[in-house]
Amino acid sequence: MTEEQRRKLDRAQEIIDYRFQTESLLLSAITHPSATEGRSVKYSYERLEFLGDSILGAIVASTAFHRFHDLDEGGLTRIKVALVSGASLADVASGLGFADVIVFGSSETGTGKRGLHSALENVYEAVVAALYLDGGIDAAVAFVERTLIPRMSLDLALEPENPKSALQEKLQEDGITPTYKLVETQGPPHDRTFVAQVFAGSKGLARGKGRTKKEAESQAAKSTLASLGDFFGFGGDSAEKAAAKAASKAAKAEKAAEKAAARAEEKARKKSERDAARQTKQKKQG
């Protein structure tokens, strides 16, 4: 074990507030794949992340089920989806200080750790799995209850389960169909983070990040809904809301202008055809 690994391992155990019997589990949980090039996948967080995702989902689902007795399946699902989303986990992991304990490889050096957002999410899930394997389900539950569950609230049940569908429904009230464009790709090939932006016509709205293009688009839609004040009933500051509404209004005006131009062009085409037909008729009669 290197000096850096020892230092980060000790700091990680302080953050988690748990002393591992098998420290290699935690070391794997905080190790980025770039630091294990040429070695087995078991030495990074990739396999642990897979297990942690399922354990975390079960803990959150069980907590929501027992806490909110009057919520139906849809409401419980929305709470779970909101809490275990990449953005939520990355935010929690960042707040805990996990960014300082991730062991990166040399291929990440100099990149500014552009894949940090997805790495934080992955490490959180991997830590849950490491705790489960080392101390059983009680250890994993204790960590999740201390770090993630405080974010759980009934308000999350109001969050659209599919932000893209909710945004499309909202904008189509004004005859606008939102489109999405991948505007940036961050991080190395094995740990990509995608940045997508929503467009209303040619007007750019909010951006979103995710480990997949689909997640990035979903986060962009979610941010746009918040700015439009249609997320949790209200949302976003007045400047963001005004900007989003202005962009939506501009897109609507642009669409109307395009339709007017198309109508004018069609009218001119028909007039030209009538004039040509009239001239042809006059020539025949002459």
Please list the active-site residues. Answer: 53, 125
β partners of residue 186: 193
Distance CA 83, CA 206 (A): 21
